[in-house]
Amino acid sequence: MAKKKDNNTVVNNFIEQNITETLELNYMPYAMSEIVSRAIPEIDGFKPAHRKLLYTMYKMGLLNGSRTKSTNVVGQTMKLNPHGDATIYETMVRLTRGNDALIHPFIDSKGNFGKAYSRDMAYAASRYTEVKLDTFCNELFKGIDKNTVDFIDNYDGKMKEPVLFPTTFPNILVTPNQGIAVSMASSICSFNLKEVCDATIHYIKNKKTDIKKYLKAPDFTTGGELIYSDEEIDKIYKTGRGSFKVRGKYRYDKKNSLIEIYEIPYSTNIESIIEKIISLVKLNKLKEINDVRNETDLKGLKITIDIKRTADPDKLMSKLYSMTPLEDSFSCNFNILVNGRPKTLGIAEILDEWLAFRTLCIKRQTEYDFDKKWDRHHLLIGLQEIILDIDKAIKIIRETEDDSMVIPNLMKGFNIDELQAEYVAEIKLRNLNKDYLLKQTNAIKDLEKEMSELQDILNCEALINDIIIDELKQISKKYGKPRNTDIIYSEQIDTVSDDDFIEEYPVTLFLTKENYFKKITQVSLQASMRVSAEHKLKENDEIIQTLESNNKNELLMFSDRQNVYKVKAYDLPECKTSSMGEYLNNLLGMEADEKIVYMANANDYKGYMLFAFENGKIAKVEMSAYATKVNRKKLINAYSGRSLLVGALYIEDDKDIILIRDTDKAMLVASSCIPLKQTKSSGGVQVYTLKKNSKMTRIMTKESFITDDAEYYRCSKIPATGHFINEEDKDRNNLPRQINLF
């Protein structure tokens, strides 16, 4: 029998549990632990792993002491962080000066700690490296021993560790932080310390201040150029979400034809950039590059690119920015833990939370100092009572037989409390002189003045703000650095189109009767001619059209189904005369039995297309009829289908053309005599007067027809019957062997 208990059903010793209950009981605690205890930074700018490591080093005396082996620090940190030595050391590496991940590193290091901008430059083992806390850490621990922050037990309850660091500046905006938790993530970019301090000071003075005026933009240790978009930066500053682009910096060595990249985006690395460049070179998309190599050394990062002397370095770099991680986006998600709860905050909200936190730290430190001074003041007041009659005090002590009664007798004799009596009793005999006692009691007034000042601080928020401002000014002056990342505006960047990425060079295009296509470079074609190499063709195939073009040209390919296919020459593969070429049905996605009968350069859609039909008609269509606003690959009804197409011809301007009827007659006529048609699918106008069973078979330019007297065939009006072709011209133009190309 199935039993029910607490909304769960037991069936065959298995418990059927509601999925939502399972998630609440099992998964949610894990998810919250991941969010709160590991992945998301808190308002002091640190994750727990960072805090445990730095606090351990602080307790080891490494703030002012000499360096110690990293292994020693890792071992001591395990008393607070039980997640293993490897993860602790990896955390340490990123915080060191040697790794170059932080503009203001927290750890002064010696040895190889790898580089943040390199994936393959591995750091040395912890037994070989040495570390100590950087002097910058004074700003993290200031007042930590004066009850400025809460402390909690470590994992085994044998030690105490701080919940937060009482940072004297908004470290959350200075130290970059990224983390992925369950169902949420955090990505905080770094800002320049001096700018952060200036912005915070002005914000304290006026909450309506324009933060962007002082906090200009993010700043990274790897430098580069930040492409500034006012709209994007404004969005990030207000919402804590958004992205911006950073690109590398380069210099050109004209003498040696070298491009040296010496700064890269923070979010990428040298190896990824080089691998992408090599890949593009292999794909023939970067023909200007001869070699690329990593020349990073002790002087710093450097990627060297050997380029061809004919290459334009600026255009090449524009290509690299667009096609490689040399220009990369940094996505911001300012998700921060505030009082144990994750919040996505804008810059002003982050400053509000940090100021509230810092104000509390100062109040707690002030209370601590006040209490210490009050205790000292209280003891001195008791001492003052003793000074009035020192002999009496000595007499009480001398006449007291039982040691345990000294304190009670002093309390009774001078009307002081136990603490005061204890303090008096502990004074050394040599200090019972007038000079010493007067010096001690004279400090009472100074203590009262200091206590009054401390009380004023506790009662006045403006005084606390003044303290914060003063600390920020000192930090800015002592640790401030110039920006690493330059700011450039989008309008300063030359607009780069897709055409700029395409290499321009002449090509010759060949079309065969069996629908094969060849694109051959001039260099390859000339090499073939030198060795008298013939075109390799399929059996019984032949070339029906040769077209001189350019790799950047757009081509129009007309099929026997009244379709026109638009294709970029650079999208078509190159081949050699020794290759059969590419089958156009596969390249263009045509129907199985569809064939291309004519191809033309688009030439910015200027000029005309002439379509000659078997019935003696010719349609003259403006090329602009094939231009489209959208990037369409195929247009239907490209020409009329009412009669069989026997030939097509592109002309840039009106010119003389030759029309052939069967194999016996030819007509020379000016294309200007043929009126333009408004639609592509027009049937055309009658040009040839045909007899029964006669048909027009060919159209060509005047220059293509070999004859000694072309004017013999001229007809001044249309329609016309043409002139008989003399036998010599038939032989010259191979007309007896009539070939129906279509």
CATH of the domain at 291: 3.30.1360.40
Q: What is the 3-state secondary structure (H, E, C) of 570-596?
A: HHCCCCCCCCCCEEHHHHHCCCCCCCE
In a domain, 178, yes or no: no
In a domain, 89, yes or no: yes
Of the candidates 141, 167, 193, which is a domain's last residue?
A: 167
Q: What are the pLDDT digits (tens) for 257-287?
A: 999 999 999 999 999 999 999 999 998 888 8
Of the candidates 301, 325, 349, which is a domain's last residue?
A: 325
In a domain, 336, yes or no: no
Assign 23 a pLDDT band (cuts: 50, 70, 90).
low
Q: How far is the C-alpha of 697 from the C-alpha of 662, rounded, in Å?
A: 5
pLDDT at 738: 45
Of the candidates 150, 167, 184, which is a domain's last residue?
A: 167
Q: Is the pLDDT of residue 2 over 50?
A: no
Same domain, 590 and 700: yes
Same domain, 581 and 706: yes
Same domain, 467 and 435: yes
Q: Is 240 left (phi over 0), alpha (psi -120 to 50) or beta?
A: left
Whether residue 57 contacts residue 131, with contact meaning beta carbons closer than 8 Å, is answered with: yes
Q: Which of 659, 647, 740 is nearest to 705 (CA)?
A: 659
Q: How far is the C-alpha of 8 from the C-alpha of 23, rounded, in Å?
A: 14
pLDDT at 384: 84
CB neighbours (10 Å) of residue 499?
Answer: 10
Whether residue 610 contacts residue 700, with contact meaning beta carbons closer than 8 Å, is answered with: no
What is the model's pTM?
Answer: 0.76
Q: What are the pLDDT digits (tens) for 30-57?
A: 555 555 555 789 999 999 999 999 999 9
* Count of domains for the chain: 4
pLDDT at 740: 42
Q: Which of 357, 333, 331 is nearest to 343 (CA)?
A: 333
Same domain, 616 and 720: yes
pLDDT at 742: 37
Q: How far is the C-alpha of 307 from the C-alpha of 280, rounded, in Å?
A: 14
Same domain, 613 and 558: yes
Mean pLDDT of the chain: 89
Report for 52-61, 396-405, 422-431, 628-637: range of highest mean pLDDT: 52-61
Q: Is the pLDDT of residue 603 over 80?
A: yes
Among residues 30, 89, 123, 128, the one annotated as catalytic is 128
Distance of CA 215 to the CA centre of its chain: 21
Whether residue 609 contacts residue 649, with contact meaning beta carbons closer than 8 Å, is answered with: yes
Same domain, 711 and 589: yes
CATH code for the domain in which residue 423 is found: 1.10.268.10
Structure tokens at 242: 């958004």
Same domain, 535 and 680: yes
In a domain, 201, yes or no: no
In a domain, 82, yes or no: yes
Whether residue 550 contacts residue 569, with contact meaning beta carbons closer than 8 Å, is answered with: yes
Sign of CA dihedral 45, 49, 54, 56: positive
Whether residue 542 contacts residue 561, with contact meaning beta carbons closer than 8 Å, is answered with: no
In a domain, 25, yes or no: no
Percent with pLDDT over 90 in the chain? 65
Q: What are the pLDDT digits (tens) for 121-172?
A: 999 999 999 999 999 999 999 999 999 999 999 988 899 999 999 999 999 9
Q: How far is the C-alpha of 683 from the C-alpha of 639, rounded, in Å?
A: 8
Assign 520 a pLDDT band (cuts: 50, 70, 90).
very high
Same domain, 394 and 292: no
Q: Is the pLDDT of residue 695 over 50?
A: yes
Q: What are the pLDDT digits (tens) for 647-691?
A: 999 999 999 999 999 878 999 999 999 999 878 888 999 999 988
Element (H, E) at 468: helix 461-479
Structure tokens at 473: 């000014």
Same domain, 256 and 364: no
Q: Is the pLDDT of residue 327 over 50?
A: yes
323 three-state secondary structure? helix
pLDDT at 310: 84
Q: State the DSSP string of 115-134.
A: -TT-SS-PPPPTTT-EEEE-
Q: Is the pLDDT of residue 391 over 60?
A: yes
Q: What is the dihedral of CA 489, 231, 226, 95, to 10 degrees?
A: 160
Q: In what order do the strands lie in the sheet with 486-489?
A: 177-180, 185-188, 327-333, 241-247, 225-228, 486-489
In a domain, 212, yes or no: no
Q: What are the pLDDT digits (tens) for 191-246?
A: 999 999 999 999 999 999 999 999 999 999 999 999 999 999 999 999 999 999 99
Question: Angle CA(217)–CA(222)–CA(228) in degrees, nearest 5?
Answer: 30
| 128 noted as active-site residue | yes
Q: How far is the C-alpha of 192 from the C-alpha of 200, rounded, in Å?
A: 12
Whether residue 645 contacts residue 697, with contact meaning beta carbons closer than 8 Å, is answered with: no
Same domain, 66 and 157: yes
Q: What is the mean pLDDT of residues 291-297?
A: 94
Same domain, 625 and 674: yes
Q: How far is the C-alpha of 442 from the C-alpha of 376, rounded, in Å?
A: 12
Domain that holds residue 565: 498-732
In a domain, 24, yes or no: no
Element (H, E) at 204: helix 193-205
Lowest mean pLDDT among 168-172, 466-470, 566-570: 566-570
Same domain, 650 and 691: yes
Q: How far is the C-alpha of 174 from the C-alpha of 364, rounded, in Å?
A: 25
pLDDT at 394: 83
Q: What is the mean pLDDT of residues 346-350?
A: 96
Q: pLDDT higher for 427 or 195? A: 195
Q: What is the mean pLDDT of residues 104-129?
A: 95
Tell me the pairing of strands 665-670 and 645-651. Answer: unpaired
Spell out a b/e string for 183-215, using b for 16 or more CB atoms within 10 Å of the CB, else e: ebebbbbbbbbbbbbbbbbbbbeeeeeebeebb
| Residue at 511: amino acid letter | L
CATH code for the domain in which residue 90 is found: 3.90.199.10
